[in-house]
Amino acid sequence: MKRGLAIYAVGVYAFLHLPLLILAIFSVNASRFTAWQGFSLHWYQAMFADRDLLEAAGNSLAIAIVSTVLATIIGTLAAYALWKRSSTMLAGGLYLSLVTPEIVTGVSLLALFQWAFRFLDLRLGMHTVILAHVSFSIAYVVVVVLARLRGFDPTLEEAALDLGATEFAAFRRVTLPFLAPAVAAAAMLAFTISIDDYVITSLVAGVDSQTLPMVFYAMARRGVSPVLNAVSTTVVLLLGALVLLSERLRRT
Amino acid sequence: MGMEVILELRDVSKEFSAHRAVNRVSLSIDRGSFFSLLGPSGCGKTTTLRLIAGFEAPTSGEVWLNGVRIDSLPPYRRNVNTVFQSYALFPHLTVRGNVEFGLRHAAVTNARERVRQVLEQVQLSGKEDRKPSQLSGGERQRVALARALVLAPDVLLLDEPLSALDPQLRKQVRAELKDLQRRTGVTFLFVTHDQEEAMALSDRIAIMNTGAIEQAGTPQELYQQPRSRFVASFLGAMNWVDGIGIRPESALLSRDPPSNGSNGRRGIVAHTTFLGSHQHFAIQLEGGEVFTVQTVAGIAFKPGEAVHVFWEPSDELRLPS
Amino acid sequence: MTRLRTFFLAPSAVLMLITIAAPLAIICVYSVLSRGAYGGVELPWTPENYRRLIDPLFGGIFIRSFALAGIATLLCILLGFPLALFIAQSGTRKNLYLTLVILPFWTSFLIRLYAWMFLLRDTGLINTVLQSLGFIREPLPMLYNNGAVLLGLVYGFLPFAVLPLYATLERLDQNLLDAAADLGARPVSVLIRITLPLCAPGIGAAAILVFVPCLGTYITSDLLGGSKTILIGNLVQNQFTTAREWPFGAAVSIVLMIVAVLLLFAVRRHSEELL
């Protein structure tokens, strides 16, 4: 049975990875058609020449960085507080966040913003996107950090208190260093989620702030294009590296 | 119960990447006997058990069961069954479900009857429909026993089955185990680190140390004629004086020097320990060693008193270290 | 102690309140209001939106969504369990195999769907290869139908199933499997009689984890299904953008939420606490 499972596993891994590998191969195909016509990087050049694409990528990066920092901080603190004493309300809210289908999160946030804008003189834009991203990333951060906390010996903090540290100092000097790899891993996770989000972002972004997924999506709906292949490969490589790093950190 | 060998290990070794867990072990176990593998943790006894059960394959050597070589067979093809240390009861099955589990593969016609019989033997009749989580520790152990015994194995392997029980329960269960083995006549191979257990239960014992068998024999042989210091010290307390070993219970105390031909030493009583049915006296000898003497209750020597410790020459154990 | 804890909890609590509780409350309210003249909502209160859900026009959408989500979930479990088993039994290489599953999962769902667009379209790789090898003369219409959506869902969510299945298998006591073998069960028998029953709660949890997002999927059907495959997710998106029927869209969202929450409760009792 073991050999059968191994063969099966190879099949499944091929299924999971081949499509992306094929995209990567064709991103360096000189021809825009499926027939192979030699190696070429000019689709990548076209990618870097597309102003809309670059601007959207810049927006995505900015949004991701800001929302990641915020979500990581808020989420880590929340995880620590939950670990100290559980709170069914907060845990329930986080579960809700994880389980709510993206489309519902998106339209509900849109409804919230439009309602709020009756009283505030604001419109949809980067700030609403960032708020949305922070909101849905927190749950993931909490899950990762809490998992690590479960393996932490609470008597270490007690020892710190016994030796004269305040609660916050104990957290900062004893617990946080232990948590550091998990926090970093959670941050990278939040980053990849933010960069990739389409559904929620497209609903709350407004007209001025296009993100990379939004531009990508618009192009993809019109049909397949070799520039998209290049974009895909680039993004997958970058995010893949980030995910690998995050996994390495999470396992230390 | 004739003197027929049912299980034999011939020069069996097991190497893991870093070290040799089992080192050229040879054993032969008689049908219907209660045999123990005794030794400190890490001595290789559990690995030896797993080699017999089939969860590990020997690096070299042969395992013979009932005249058939089994060391290349998987566990489900060997007619040995194991009582695991943690009992390993299937949580989603009832007591009955657990006990009849192996019968499904054994193609027996009277499964129900056999299950009923074995549950009676371990005194669990009436609890067939309970789940393991609803049983006490002692009851769970009996389910594990029943589950293995119902398959009528050639040898029943028991991996430290008493270690999970509280001390009071342990003595009682120990007696029940011995009784069960006698009644069923199944060959028991018992692994433990508790020498008292091994000696109370076994017909024969093999003492293991760092992967090899130090000595094998009946409990009396091992206790009275140990062939090494390790065996002597492992089975009971020992005093070592000038290379000679004396058991605490073989030594006597008196205020006057012994008149007959006993050997002895002079010393001062360091402290006394009252243990209920007997006492221990720690005697600081002239040479500096501390010698423990075990006596019945009621002997009165006080710390600081000068005494003579003596023993029969025939009680001396001269052993290589 | 509690002061520090309150201080730590405050930001997330406030955020949850504003971005999860309040929006859902607003959607709840909207679902019983009427459509506004210029989009948005206005009074009077009406249960009309929920009544419209029973309209046979939307019946097809709901049935198709549940069916696709159901089949996709089933496939993810069936395909994912053997892989999770393989990883759990792989000893020292576990982390490597796990990473190989996690990697595609976390790198852009959107791009992964696009990859299938690239492969399945009429002039895509699969059709080109099949045609050049002479197996077919006309390209097979593999894109823009229910089958493509199903493929996209399974491809997208398979890792989502493998990870919790692996977690459950990992926690299985090896002694139980040894005991079963000791009692005479062959490997396949051990799998059916011990492993599967003991993993049932984990399998249930994995199923919910896949089913709910599949039910509410939007981009999978939009990119791979074309105009023929409208699912609940597309319906909601449509109501809130082009159709400007917010109250109705809100009602559909609430139904979706109720299904998700009910399933969440069903699973919570059995699965290991994440939070």
Of B34-38, B93-97, C227-231, minimum mean pLDDT range? C227-231
Whether residues B151 and C183 touch (CB distance < 8 A) is answered with yes
pLDDT 10s digits, B70-111: 999 988 889 999 999 888 899 889 999 999 888 887 777 888
From the list C218, C260, C275, the residue facing A142 with the nearest CB is: C275
Tell me: cis bond preceding C44? Omega within 30 of 0 counts.
Answer: yes
B77 CA: distance to closest CA in chain C (Å): 7
* 3-class DSSP assignment, residue A181: helix
Reported as a pLDDT band with limits 50, 70 and 90, residue B1 is very low
Instruction: Report d(CA C227, CA C145) in Å as an integer.
Output: 9
Q: Which domains does chain A have, with CATH numbers?
A: 56-215+223-251 (1.10.3720.10)
Q: Mean pLDDT over residues B59-73, rounded?
A: 94
B186 plus B292 within the same structural domain? no
| DSSP letter, residue B186 | -
The reply to whether the predicted model has a pTM over 0.80 is yes
Identify the pLDDT of residue B160: 93
Q: Mean pLDDT over residues C11-15, rounded?
A: 91
Whether residues A104 and C253 touch (CB distance < 8 A) is answered with yes
Whether residues C185 and B53 touch (CB distance < 8 A) is answered with no
pLDDT 10s digits, B239-261: 998 888 999 999 999 998 888 77
Q: Mean pLDDT over residues C169-188, rounded?
A: 92
* Neighbouring chains to A with at least 3 Cβ pairs closer than 8 Å: C
pLDDT 10s digits, A37-63: 888 888 999 999 999 899 999 999 999
Tokens representing residue B268 in the block? 């001062």
B101/C contact by beta carbon, under 8 A: yes
B290 plus B210 within the same structural domain? no
Q: Tokens 């430290």: give the residue.
A: B160
C101 CA: distance to closest CA in chain A (Å): 7
Identify the pLDDT of residue B314: 87
Whether residue B29 contacts residue B35, with contact meaning beta carbons closer than 8 Å, is answered with yes
Q: What does pLDDT average to over chain A? A: 90
Pairing of β B68-69 and β B239-241:
unpaired
Identify the pLDDT of residue C269: 66
C56 CA: distance to closest CA in chain A (Å): 23
Q: Which domains does chain C have, with CATH numbers?
A: 63-238 (1.10.3720.10)
Instruction: Report d(CA C217, CA C61) in Å as an integer.
Output: 13
Question: Which of B228, B261, B289 lies at the terminal end of a domain, its last residue?
Answer: B228
Instruction: Tally the residues of chain C.
Output: 275
Of A139-148, B57-66, C184-193, C259-268, minimum mean pLDDT range? C259-268
From the list B55, B92, B105, the residue facing C184 with the nearest CB is: B105
B257 plus B181 within the same structural domain? no
Q: Which of B103, B102, B95, B196 is nearest to B141 (CA)?
A: B95
Reported as a pLDDT band with limits 50, 70 and 90, residue A142 is very high
Instruction: Report d(CA B167, CA B162) in Å as an integer.
Output: 9
Identify the pLDDT of residue C273: 57
Chain B residue with minimal CA distance to C181? B76
A22 CA: distance to closest CA in chain C (Å): 8
Instruction: Report d(CA A196, CA B168) in Å as an integer.
Output: 63
Whether residues B84 and C178 touch (CB distance < 8 A) is answered with yes
B224 plus B265 within the same structural domain? no
| Neighbouring C-alpha atoms within 13 Å toward the C-beta of C1 | 9
Of B1-10, B27-36, B145-154, C264-273, minimum mean pLDDT range? C264-273
B217 plus B252 within the same structural domain? no
Phi, psi of B240 (to 5 degrees): -120, 120
B42/C contact by beta carbon, under 8 A: no
Q: What is the domain range of residue B278?
A: 237-318
Identify the pLDDT of residue B81: 93
pLDDT 10s digits, A73-95: 999 999 999 998 888 888 889 98
Among C100, C111, C190, most A C-beta atoms within 10 A, so best to mutate, is C111
Whether residue C160 contacts residue C209, with contact meaning beta carbons closer than 8 Å, is answered with yes
Whether residue A193 contacts residue A201, with contact meaning beta carbons closer than 8 Å, is answered with no
Pairing of β B290-296 and β B244-246:
unpaired
Whether residue C41 contacts residue C247, with contact meaning beta carbons closer than 8 Å, is answered with yes
User: Count of CB atoms within 10 A of residue C125's CB?
Assistant: 18
Reported as a pLDDT band with limits 50, 70 and 90, residue A243 is confident
B239 CA: distance to closest CA in chain C (Å): 42
Residue type, B19: H
Cβ-Cβ contacts under 8 Å, C186 against chain B: 76, 105
| Helix (H), strand (E) at residue B267 | strand B263-274
Distances (CA, A) of B86 to B138, B164, C175, C176: 12, 8, 8, 10
Instruction: Report d(CA B122, CA B203) in Å as an integer.
Output: 22
Identify the pLDDT of residue B287: 84
Q: Which of C218, C220, C247, C249 is nearest to C234 (CA)?
A: C218
Chain A residue with minimal CA distance to C108? A196
Whether residues C115 and A232 touch (CB distance < 8 A) is answered with yes
Q: Which of B316, B221, A71, A244 is nearest to C104 (CA)?
A: A244
Alpha carbon C221 to its chain centroid, in Å, reads 13
| DSSP letter, residue B67 | T
Cβ-proximal residues to B167 (8 Å cutoff; 6+ apart), any chain: none
Identify the pLDDT of residue C1: 54
Sign of CA dihedral B104, B106, B107, B112: negative
Pairing of β B204-209 and β B34-38:
parallel
Cβ-Cβ contacts under 8 Å, C5 against chain A: 81, 84-85
Identify the pLDDT of residue B139: 92
Question: Which of B198, B228, B258 lies at the terminal end of a domain, its last residue?
Answer: B228
Q: How many domains does chain B have?
A: 2
Alpha carbon B291 to its chain centroid, in Å, reads 27
- pLDDT of residue C275 exceeding 70, the answer is no
Q: Do C and A count as touching (3 or more CB pairs closer than 8 A)?
A: yes
Cβ-Cβ contacts under 8 Å, C23 against chain A: 105, 108-109, 111-112
B203 plus B77 within the same structural domain? yes
Reported as a pLDDT band with limits 50, 70 and 90, residue A160 is confident
Residue type, A147: A
Tokens representing residue A91 in the block? 């845990």
Whether residues C194 and B105 touch (CB distance < 8 A) is answered with no
* 3-class DSSP assignment, residue C125: helix
B224 plus B272 within the same structural domain? no
Instruction: Report d(CA C261, CA C245) in Å as an integer.
Output: 24
Identify the pLDDT of residue C48: 84
B16/C contact by beta carbon, under 8 A: no
Instruction: Report d(CA C151, CA C130) in Å as an integer.
Output: 19
Question: Which of B188, B203, B228 lies at the terminal end of a domain, its last residue?
Answer: B228
B116 plus B260 within the same structural domain? no
Identify the pLDDT of residue C75: 97
Tokens representing residue C132 in the block? 């050049």
B171 plus B50 within the same structural domain? yes
Of A238-252, B58-72, B89-103, B172-186, minimum mean pLDDT range? A238-252
Identify the pLDDT of residue C155: 95
B215 plus B260 within the same structural domain? no
Identify the pLDDT of residue B165: 84
CATH of the domain at B277: 2.40.50.140
Tokens representing residue A142 in the block? 């909490």
Q: Mean pLDDT over residues C187-204, rounded?
A: 91
* 3-class DSSP assignment, residue A130: helix
C196 CA: distance to closest CA in chain B (Å): 11
CATH of the domain at B211: 3.40.50.300
Identify the pLDDT of residue B18: 83
Question: With pLDDT > 90 as the criterion, what percentage of chain C qualifies?
Answer: 49
Identify the pLDDT of residue C34: 87
- pLDDT of residue C38 exceeding 80, the answer is no
pLDDT 10s digits, C98-154: 999 988 888 889 999 999 999 998 888 888 888 888 888 888 888 888 999 999 999
B95 plus B162 within the same structural domain? yes
Whether residue A145 contacts residue A75, with contact meaning beta carbons closer than 8 Å, is answered with yes
Chain B residue with minimal CA distance to C187? B76
Tokens representing residue A226 in the block? 């070799």
B222 plus B243 within the same structural domain? no
Phi, psi of C271 (to 5 degrees): -90, 160
Instruction: Report d(CA A46, CA A53) in Å as an integer.
Output: 10
C173 CA: distance to closest CA in chain A (Å): 19
